[in-house]
Amino acid sequence: MAALLTFDILGMYPVPASTQVLIGSPLVSAFTINNRLIGTSTKFTVSNFVSTEARAVKQVTVDGQIQNSRCAISWNDVVGGKSIVIELYADGEVSEFGCAAHGSNADGGDEAARPDSLGSGGFAIP
């Protein structure tokens, strides 16, 4: 139960039996996940963070590259010693629907941007 609460506070939801982590609105402005087993530290930064309210995710950037999906990232990115920025919509901005990254050519219904748990084809087998 403590692990679920911790991930909830961090705005992440690991999908069981997969390598995907769903992204939500974190309750903290920055955090680091240290993996002592493989010796990595992944730093998360939340831009447009406001402590008084939850905001929708605008885009997710891993090591400077905007991800196709703003709904999920790979578990390997979470524990791989990367730098991850979760950008939330600023006050007054209109939230877009769907999982495609903000400003991408894909619309919110892009199948490739959806996590496996929301797709119509089932879970991918690694």
- Ordered DSSP codes for 26-49: -SSSEEEEEETTTTEEEEEEEET-
**What are the structural domains, with CATH classification, of the chain?**
2-103 (3.30.2080.10)
Whole-model pTM? Answer: 0.78
What is the model's pLDDT at position 119? 58
The band of 108, judged by pLDDT with boundaries at 50, 70 and 90, is very low
Edge-to-edge strands, sheet with 72-74: 12-14, 20-23, 72-74
Q: Are 75 and 113 a contacting pair, CB within 8 Å?
A: no
What is the model's pLDDT at position 86? 93
Could you report the per-residue pLDDT of 75-101, keeping only the tens digit for each?
Answer: 999 999 999 999 998 877 777 777 776
What is the model's pLDDT at position 40? 93
What is the model's pLDDT at position 18? 85
Could you report the per-residue pLDDT of 23-67, keeping only the tens digit for each?
Answer: 988 999 999 999 899 999 999 999 988 877 778 888 999 999 999
